[in-house]
Amino acid sequence: MGQAVDLVEIWRGDILEGMHQGHAVIVDDTGQIIAAWGDPDAVILPRSSCKMVQALPLIRSGAADAFGLTSSQLALACASHSGEAQHVAPVQAWLKALELGDDDLRCGSHLPMGEAPKHAMIAAHESPCQCHNNCSGKHAGFLTLNKHLGGDAEYIDPAHPVQIGCRDAMEETSGVTPAGYGIDGCSAPNYATTVSGLARAMAHFATASGGSAEYRLTQAMMTHPELVAGTGRACTDLMRAANGAAALKTGAEGVYTGILPGKRLGIALKIADGATRASECVIAALLVKCGVLKTDNPQIAKRLHPQNTNWRGVQTDTLRPVAELMN
């Protein structure tokens, strides 16, 4: 990975206590970089920030229409959901419509990411199923595509037609031949690209014409932001605040992407130390820089300058994007 630069400052009182470094790129409708911080050619794993790219074969193959998928199901295919009832129940219904069940998923199970459903499950001494996995919507999409293609059950194998389709979609939209792949938390392969390539893929979505797979997925995310993440999550809150001006997607290890249809721009960023608090701060700053939201928007302010407190409720430190991100 190339040389990262300072992106987010951590202030404790009047003392600069620390710094989050990383890379960020904004790409226009011609695929050209119009702003960059750090190394645009840094090779990264996009993790869950590219789920909309992974969902392209679901529509392009004809599977989505053959199975009558709704806009909300397409949003879930792009989601890293919190495991709330609004997420789990639709995925379970989706699998039932496919005449499949929880055992057909290959994502594994984990407790809900949302605090309320997680605590409720623990209090009830219940165990999560695979539908609680934050990637279960993506995997329901994989299973839909797999059933349409008539593939074998191991749809997460890198040599499986489902994953070959995902790889090809990443290469096509980013303009970068994947340097390799890593296995994601949900067991599916995650194909490497550059920060600029990931931003170019997002610009590809931002400039898509009505009726295209890219357009349908972008609209699904913006129409159902609560399904893409969940209660109190940055993706959901910022998309609601943007009101149809941005589709946003977080990824593990400090990755974030943005699709700005009205501006015909794509955004990608990677925080070198993987901190989510920093990636949320930077995406908020870039939404302001691109003219999508203003600094006084409560959801922007919450991410631009998060106020941290200690165990007594006393404010201790705050984050702040570097000036270059805001100018």
| CA–CA dist 82, 108 (Å, integer) | 15
- At which residue do the structure tokens 């090779």 appear? 43
- d(CA 102, CA 123) in angstroms, rounded, equals 23
Q: In the prediction, which pLDDT does 2 show?
A: 73
The per-residue pLDDT for range 282-324, each reduced to its tens digit, is 999 999 999 999 999 999 999 999 989 999 999 999 999 999 9
Residues near 225 by Cβ (< 8 Å), separated by ≥ 6? Answer: 235, 236, 237, 239, 240
pLDDT of residue 1: 63
Task: Tell me the two tokens of residue 115.
Answer: 């605090």
> Tell me: the pLDDT tens digits for 1-53?
679 999 999 999 999 999 999 999 999 999 999 999 999 999 999 999 999 99
Residue 241 and residue 232 in contact, taking contact as beta carbons nearer than 8 Å: no
> From CA 116, how far away is CA 171, in angstroms rounded?
39
Indicate which CATH number applies to the domain containing 29: 3.40.710
Residue 76: which residues within 8 A CB-CB, separation 6 or more? 87, 90, 91, 94, 137, 138, 140, 141, 227
Residue 180 CA to residue 45 CA, distance in Å, equals 9
Mean pLDDT of 170-178: 97
| Sign, CA torsion 306/307/308/311 | negative
Beta-bridge partners for 257: 249, 268
Question: Which amino acid, one-letter code, is at 246?
Answer: A
| Residue 65: Cβ-neighbour burial (10 angstroms; 0-12, 13-18, 19+) | exposed
The CA-based angle 210-71-114, given to 5 degrees, is 130
Counted domains in the chain: 1
User: What range does the domain containing 193 cover?
Assistant: 5-326
* Contact by Cβ (8 Å): 172, 57: no
